[in-house]
């Protein structure tokens, strides 16, 4: 209790006093910039995942609803792959890449502890999907390049978040670098 008889409770950077939030620790400009940087990375992760997820849901739906000629693409484009039509690739695109990226974005919005890991997994799956797609179809178009870049940005941003939060594997890597035993 303070002099006026009001309770104060310290919570992180803030102190509750008579029902109002009052800054208890002056923050430097560097801390404010760093907080804005982390928020921008967080928003970028969500935006990229929603963009890739909605794109994959639309493409997967088109491939499943018309597996013999989605978007006017002939099944002849799959001659180097194991499929005769676009049904199985469309299901994978819709479920794994589309719904997976959207679910990962929901985890990020909810600030779930595992969201950076789910984002890295979805970035890896997206990058592999695009590379395999380019190999099988023997073409590279601007949409594929855009999604490849989105996957790379998503993976890079997720690694930045893990490093900033000092989460696995960064403490392990630091111990290995410093000559300490890893386990």
Q: Is residue 33 part of a domain?
A: yes
Q: Is residue 109 part of a domain?
A: yes
Q: Is residue 80 part of a domain?
A: yes
Q: Report the pLDDT value the prediction gives residue 26, as an integer from 0 to 100.
A: 61
What is the gyration radius of the CA atoms in the chain, in angstroms?
Answer: 23
| C-alpha triplet 62, 68, 69: angle, nearest 5° | 60
Structural domain total, the chain: 1
Residue 105 CB contacts under 8 Å (≥ 6 apart), including other chains: 45, 46, 49, 50, 53
Q: Is the bond preceding residue 34 a cis peptide, omega within 30 degrees?
A: no
Q: Is residue 173 part of a domain?
A: no
Q: Is residue 76 part of a domain?
A: yes
What is the chain's pLDDT, residue by residue, as a tens digit (183 residues)? 444 444 444 444 444 444 444 455 566 777 777 788 888 999 999 999 999 999 999 999 999 999 998 888 888 888 888 989 999 999 999 999 999 999 999 999 998 989 999 999 999 999 999 999 999 988 899 999 999 999 999 999 999 999 888 888 888 888 888 886 655
**Structural domain that includes position 67:** 28-168
8, β-bridge pairs:
17
Q: Is residue 36 part of a domain?
A: yes
Q: Is residue 22 part of a domain?
A: no
Q: Report the pLDDT value the prediction gives residue 17, as an integer from 0 to 100.
A: 47
Q: Report the pLDDT value the prediction gives residue 108, as an integer from 0 to 100.
A: 94
Q: Report the pLDDT value the prediction gives residue 75, as an integer from 0 to 100.
A: 85
DSSP 80: T
Q: Is residue 21 part of a domain?
A: no
């Amino acid at each position: 209790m303070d002099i006026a008889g009001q309770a104060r409770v310290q919570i992180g950077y803030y102190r509750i006093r008579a029902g109002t939030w009052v800054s208890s620790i002056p923050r430097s400009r560097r801390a404010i910039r760093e907080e804005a940087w982390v928020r921008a990375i967080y928003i970028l992760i969500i935006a990229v995942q929603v963009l890739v997820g909605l794109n994959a849901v639309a493409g997967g739906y088109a491939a499943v609803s018309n597996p013999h000629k989605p978007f006017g693409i002939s099944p002849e484009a799959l001659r180097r792959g194991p499929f005769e039509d676009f049904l199985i690739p469309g299901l994978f695109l819709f479920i794994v890449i589309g719904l997976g990226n959207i679910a990962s974005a929901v985890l990020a919005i909810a600030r779930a502890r595992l969201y950076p890991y789910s984002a890295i997994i979805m970035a890896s799956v997206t990058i592999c999907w695009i590379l395999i797609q380019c190999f099988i179809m023997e073409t590279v178009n601007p949409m594929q390049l855009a999604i490849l870049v989105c996957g790379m940005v998503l993976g890079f941003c997720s690694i930045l978040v893990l490093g900033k939060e000092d989460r696995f594997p960064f403490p392990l890597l630091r111990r290995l670098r410093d000559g300490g035993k890893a386990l």
